[in-house]
Chain A
């Protein structure tokens, strides 16, 4: 009895102390314990200052993370330059010409909004450590922005842009943004990768802002109410290197699931399905595992792309650009849902949602038509990039792709694609003056490439592997989607697909046997009936 009263008294004293502490504010400011990190960057003195530029933030970061910029300097995200080991081609945004906004060179002030550096230009210093932008991948406020026109720099003071336009870009305070840094979230990656090609969902088809907060129907891995993966769960970095670039796609991963620390797994692409699911992923319907040596997981498990109610561009015709409205401004035409189907500065577009992919044999080698490659209008459409693959090379699987078609300017005399100067306040930028002659001349001069002065338009195609927006297994393709004569794989050659394929000789022979068996039975029956009557 005495012990119980003692406990009660102690409890009352503790409760009283707690009340006093809370009442005096002694523990009122205690923040909830962060369990996903061992460092709260808001407590670091280096970050408790007023920053006048992004580079100043980077210098503060580097005072602790001494090797970070040096690691970044080795990455494709930084260099925008990569040599394809299979073809020897120099790829990356500094080298390729695509059939969206065509080229980053000559447009760096705008395009560099999506470079992980500050002050990108034709003469950019790729060796400067303070030029690395840590915030774009690590800030968590969602307030960090690098507006187009500022060469990848954030705007820290209210600025009128374009100059004399009356439009004000609000400056942002970099200190709380710098203090918020943490592991990369999907929104960090999405800032650029969801908006590739000039807007939400434009380029990839399987990457758009619907993946900010997807449900399971859209993506079983990223669903907030499911596995809640971030991009880096699969694209797992090592020394800031991000695996899984389309410039060096893994067409076939025939290894078992990755095992941490296993020496043989060093350097493997962690972003393949097999790196987690292995070679026999189907446990309940083991027959489906017979497909994995020929068919990429994505083929069945991503039945359509652009499923998140955000359409993707499927066609872009630059040749029709240049029209103005009655006020002399570039013409804008929208569809019923408000998506632009014509822009005076860009030409005609086609948008689609819930798109069925095309299917190809893909071994990962991605061959580009580069700025110095010869092209001929008689052979249009020209492949901007084309994945290689075959049923017999032992390295290919049947993959789903987005096929994006376009019509873009080229030099008919030199027979090359051209670099176009699109963005900028100067008189040569196409989006300012709608003058192709000036825009292409300026673009080619900046890129240091020969230009005849003549411009024509040529039809082009680009291929984009589809690998995100993985649907739940009950939404995967049904068998008859492929195992039928006019199914999704109707055009795929070099593989026998039951239900699709037939050999005329075997079919004739089989039907012949059936016919003769039937005729024989019928004849035999008739003869018995006939002979019975006789007797």
Chain B
């Protein structure tokens, strides 16, 4: 019987530890449409932080960007404050690392 209980406790401990590990690993891609409120380019120009106002919730969301294509659009004002953006970002660690950042505009 004690053997049975020790096995049960071990299984429970393993399950809890697996779930604990799984929480940060389950950080997923988040898709969002929002309007650019602020763009802050890093001094070295190799990254930027933008604040988008989520059109669904109205909340501001800060997104970290380091891809050259989007940075170039910030630098020559092809994307600016007021533009509506469709973005996909990885929210792992709360960094909101952008994977896609494009204007929604069409005709």
Chain A residues contacting B78 (CB-CB under 8 Å) are: 142-143, 145
How many A-B pairs have beta carbons closer than 8 Å: the answer is 39
| Smallest CB gap from A338: residue in B | B33
Interface residue B3 (Cβ < 8 Å from any Cβ of A): no
| 93-107 of chain B: CB within 8 A of chain A | 100, 102, 104-107
A200, B102: Cβ atoms under 8 Å?
Answer: yes
Interface residue A306 (Cβ < 8 Å from any Cβ of B): no
CA distance A200 to B88 in the complex (A): 15
Interface residue A408 (Cβ < 8 Å from any Cβ of B): no
Chain B residues contacting A148 (CB-CB under 8 Å) are: 107
Chain B residues contacting A423 (CB-CB under 8 Å) are: 107
CA distance A270 to B84 in the complex (A): 39
Interface residue B31 (Cβ < 8 Å from any Cβ of A): yes
| Smallest CB gap from B106: residue in A | A199
Interface residue A532 (Cβ < 8 Å from any Cβ of B): no
Chain B residues contacting A111 (CB-CB under 8 Å) are: 107
CA distance A309 to B30 in the complex (A): 12
| 75-132 of chain A: CB within 8 A of chain B | 101, 110-111, 113
A209, B56: Cβ atoms under 8 Å?
Answer: no
Q: Mark A144-163, 1 if CB is under 8 A from B, else 0.
A: 01001000000000000000
Q: Given A142-B72, A143-B78, A170-B77, are A338 and B106 neighbors across the interface (CB < 8 Å)? A: no
Interface residue B28 (Cβ < 8 Å from any Cβ of A): no
| Smallest CB gap from A149: residue in B | B107
Chain A residues contacting B38 (CB-CB under 8 Å) are: none
B side interface size, CB within 8 A: 19
A202, B32: Cβ atoms under 8 Å?
Answer: no
Closest-CB distance, A354 to chain B (whole angstroms): 15
Contact of A338 among B77, B100, B104 (CB under 8 A): B104
B107, A309: Cβ atoms under 8 Å?
Answer: no
B102, A337: Cβ atoms under 8 Å?
Answer: no
Chain B residues contacting A338 (CB-CB under 8 Å) are: 31-33, 55-56, 86, 104
CA distance A195 to B69 in the complex (A): 18
Q: Mark B8-48, 1 if CB is under 8 A from A, else 0.
A: 00000000000000000000000111000000000000000
A side interface size, CB within 8 A: 20
| Smallest CB gap from A167: residue in B | B82
| Smallest CB gap from B84: residue in A | A338
CA distance A309 to B106 in the complex (A): 17
Chain B residues contacting A209 (CB-CB under 8 Å) are: 102
Q: Given A337-B31, A338-B33, are A101 and B107 neighbors across the interface (CB < 8 Å)? A: yes
Chain B residues contacting A110 (CB-CB under 8 Å) are: 107
Interface residue A520 (Cβ < 8 Å from any Cβ of B): no
| 58-107 of chain B: CB within 8 A of chain A | 69, 72-73, 76-78, 86, 88, 100, 102, 104-107
Chain B residues contacting A101 (CB-CB under 8 Å) are: 107
B106, A202: Cβ atoms under 8 Å?
Answer: yes
Interface residue A198 (Cβ < 8 Å from any Cβ of B): yes
CA distance A199 to B84 in the complex (A): 14
| Smallest CB gap from A209: residue in B | B102
Chain B residues contacting A337 (CB-CB under 8 Å) are: 31, 33
CA distance A113 to B107 in the complex (A): 10
| Smallest CB gap from B78: residue in A | A143
A-B contact pairs, 28 of them (CB 8 A): A101-B107, A110-B107, A111-B107, A113-B107, A142-B69, A142-B72, A142-B73, A143-B76, A143-B78, A145-B78, A148-B107, A170-B77, A195-B106, A198-B106, A198-B107, A199-B106, A200-B102, A209-B102, A309-B88, A334-B33, A334-B55, A337-B31, A337-B33, A338-B31, A338-B32, A338-B55, A338-B86, A338-B104
Counting from the closest, the 6 A-B pairs by CB-CB distance are: A199-B106, A338-B33, A198-B106, A198-B107, A337-B31, A148-B107
Known contacts A111-B107, A334-B55; can you find 4 more A-B pairs with CB under 8 A?
A: A142-B73, A334-B56, A338-B56, A338-B104
